[in-house]
Amino acid sequence: MKFGGTSVRSPESRMQAALRVISAREQGYMPVVVVSAIGRRGEPYATDTLINMLAEIDPNVAPDQRELDLLMACGEILSSVVFAHLLKTQGHTAMAMRGGQAGIRTDGVYGNARILAVNPLGLFEALKRGHIPVVCGFQGVWVQGGLPGAELTTLGRGGSDTTATAVAAALKADSVEIFTDVDGLKTADPDYVPDAPTLSKVSYDEVAELAYLGAKVLHPRAAEIAMRFGVPLWIKNTFSEHPGTQVVSREEFPGTRVTGVSHTGKLVHIQFNLSAIKDGQRHTFQARIYEMLAQEGTSLHMVDLSAESIGFAVPREQFPRVEDLFDGLVLPVAKDHIYVVRREDKHSHAADTQIKLMADMVDVVAVPYTVTEGTTMVSLVGHEYMQQPGVFESVMRTLQENKVPVMQVSDSDFSLSCLIPESELKKAVVALHDRFVSEVAH
C-alpha cells in the first residue's frame, strides 16, 4: 500500500491512511506500506522545501548530487517514522525502514537511480515478527564493491510508485494499491473536465502512455515493473470508498477503446530551415544538432525529420539553455565551409559577430531557425483504437471545428498527439473529451 504526499500531509490524512492499513490487516492481509514525503510543494517537509534549504545558503552554488540525495531522502524517512508511530498508537506493531533496509539496491546514479535488485529478506523478517513494515519510498542504496556501508540514492521521478511495485514484486504480493487524493485514473484532467469519469480498468501500457503524455498518474517505471512481474495494481483514493482503477495486463483487458485525453506542460517548438545547407552536408549538420541536444540533456517531443527541415519541441524550462546553445552556434561541417545557427525572428548579436569575424576566412552560411513559444501537446490515448480508419481525420476535424490550430502531429500505437497553442488547451481537451471519451461507457 503506497501513500503519496497528500495522503500523509496532515494528522487527519495520515489517520485516514492508517485506517486503510489497519482495515487491510483486519481482513487478513499482511500489508507492507510505502510512503512519500509529507506534503506537497511549499510545505515544511516536502522534498522541494528541503532542497530550498541549500538554495537559501547561496543560490549560485549548485549542491552536490550525492548530498542532495541524502537531504531529499529525509522527507520519506521522516514520513515513515511518523506513519509507523501512528500505527503503533493504534495498537499495531510497525517498523519504519529505509529503502536500503528494505533491500532496495540501485545503480549509482544519484538523483535518478534505477532499481537493480530487491532483497526482501528484511521485509519478510519484519512480517514474520508481526510488524507492519513502513518503507521509505523514492530511495535505495548503491552498494559499491569492497567499501563499507552503502551510498544512499534517490530514484528520481515516480520514485515512490516504483518502490511500491518493486517491493510488491519481490514479495510476490497479491496486489499493489497506490493511494492518492483522486478516485483513480480519470479520462481527462478534472481541472479542465470536472465531470471526467474514473476508469474502472486499464492496461499497463495505457497507464504508462497516459503518464508519458502528461497525466499525473502512476509513473511509467512503476507500470513497467508491475507489467514485467504481473503484479495486480490499483489506483485508489485514500479519502473515499470509490473502488478505484485496476491496472492489468493487455491480455486481461483486450478490446478497442478510448482511454482518455491527456496534455503535457508548456513546450517551445523549434524548427530549422535546412535549405541553405549543401546536399551531402545536411546529415552531418542534423546529427551535430541532436548530438549537442543530447549532451545538454534536453528532453525532446514531436521530433520531425526531413531533408528540408528539422523540428522538435522542448519543455519551456529547458528552452533558455537550448537557446544559449544555439545562439551563434558555429558548426564546421566541412573544411572550407562553416554554418552559423541564427534565430530568424530575433536579432542575435552573437550570431552576427560570428558571421562577421569568419566571413573573410571561410565560406559562412547562416542556418535560420524559428521559435514558437507558448505551445503544448494534447493527446488522445486509446487501446487498439488509433488503428481504426478515420480516427486521425476525426481528431483533426474536431479541433478544427473548435478553431484550435494544429501545428504538428505525432502518433503511435496508443496515442495521437497534436501540438497546439497553449491558449487553446482547455478548449482542445474539452472538445476531444466530448467527442471521443464521453461517448464511450467506462
Partner 1 sequence: MSRPDETHSSNEPFRQDVSDRVADSRGRGETEFEKPRGVNRVDVRHGLARATVSGLKDPIMESRLDVLSKVREAGVSIDFVKFSNGSMSFVAAESDHKTLSKVLKGAPCKSEVEPGCCVVTVHAVNMQDEEGLVARIVGQVIASGEEVDHVGDMHDRLLFVTDKETGDRLVERLRKSLIEGAAQ
Q: Segment 185-224, which members bind partner 1 (CB under 8 A)?
A: 208-209, 211-213, 220-221, 224
Q: Does 432 bind partner 1 (CB under 8 A)?
A: no
Set of cell numbers at residue 281: 552536408
Stretch near partner 1 under the rule CB under 8 A, chosen from 59-67, 343-351, 390-398, 431-439: 390-398
Tell me how far, at minimum, the Cβ of 349 lies from partner 1, in Å. 27
Tell me how far, at minimum, the Cβ of 411 lies from partner 1, in Å. 6
Set of cell numbers at residue 296: 545538454
Q: Does 76 bind partner 1 (CB under 8 A)?
A: no
Query: Residue 115 carries which side chain, given as an amino acid letter?
Result: I
Q: Does 412 bind partner 1 (CB under 8 A)?
A: yes
Contacts of residue 291, defined as CB under 8 A and 6 or more positions apart, other chains included, come to none
Tell me how far, at minimum, the Cβ of 57 lies from partner 1, in Å. 26
Stretch near partner 1 under the rule CB under 8 A, chosen from 40-48, 178-186, 282-290, 365-373: 282-290
Using alpha carbons only, how large is the chain's radius of gyration in Å? 25
- Residues 215-274 contacting partner 1, CB under 8 A: 220-221, 224-225, 229
Query: Residue 326 carries which side chain, given as an amino acid letter?
Result: F
Cα maximum dimension of the chain: 83
Residue among 117, 276, 357, 362 that touches partner 1 (CB under 8 A): 117
Q: Does 128 bind partner 1 (CB under 8 A)?
A: yes
Q: Is the dihedral of CA 57, 62, 66, 68 positive or negative?
A: positive
Q: Does 31 bind partner 1 (CB under 8 A)?
A: yes
Please identify, using beta-carbon distances, which residue of 299 and 353 lies nearer to partner 1: 299
Q: Does 114 bind partner 1 (CB under 8 A)?
A: yes
Q: Does 32 bind partner 1 (CB under 8 A)?
A: yes
Q: Do 325 and 296 touch, CB atoms closer than 8 A?
A: yes
Please identify, using beta-carbon distances, which residue of 16 and 298 lies nearer to partner 1: 298
Q: Does 28 bind partner 1 (CB under 8 A)?
A: yes
Q: Do 164 and 63 touch, CB atoms closer than 8 A?
A: no
Binding to partner 1 by CB under 8 A, coded x per residue (else -) over 155-184, reads -xxx---x---x--xxxxxxxxx-------
SS3 (DSSP) at 117: strand
For residue 194, the number of C-alpha atoms closer than 13 Å in the C-beta half-sphere is 0
- Residues 320-379 contacting partner 1, CB under 8 A: none
Contacts of residue 323, defined as CB under 8 A and 6 or more positions apart, other chains included, come to 343, 371
Stretch near partner 1 under the rule CB under 8 A, chosen from 94-102, 118-126, 181-189, 364-372: 118-126
Set of cell numbers at residue 401: 471545428
Tell me how far apart the terminal alpha carbons of the chain are, to the nearest angstrom: 25
Please identify, using beta-carbon distances, which residue of 8 and 211 lies nearer to partner 1: 211
Q: Do 17 and 132 touch, CB atoms closer than 8 A?
A: no
Q: CA nearest 378: which of 327, 436, 339?
A: 436
Please identify, using beta-carbon distances, which residue of 175 and 353 lies nearer to partner 1: 175
Q: Does 384 bind partner 1 (CB under 8 A)?
A: no
Q: Does 53 bind partner 1 (CB under 8 A)?
A: no
Distance CA 367, CA 271 (A): 11
Set of cell numbers at residue 52: 530550498
Residue among 15, 53, 121, 362 that touches partner 1 (CB under 8 A): 121
Q: Does 382 bind partner 1 (CB under 8 A)?
A: no
User: How many chain residues interact with partner 1 (CB under 8 A)?
Assistant: 90
Please identify, using beta-carbon distances, which residue of 45 and 414 lies nearer to partner 1: 414
Tell me how far, at minimum, the Cβ of 178 lies from partner 1, in Å. 12
Residue with cell 529478506: 121
Stretch near partner 1 under the rule CB under 8 A, chosen from 41-49, 79-87, 151-159, 363-371: 151-159
Tell me how far, at minimum, the Cβ of 206 lies from partner 1, in Å. 10
Distance CA 435, CA 433 (A): 5
Contacts of residue 37, defined as CB under 8 A and 6 or more positions apart, other chains included, come to 5, 8, 45, 46, 47, 75, 76, 78, 79, 138
Segment holding 409, helix H or strand E: strand 408-411
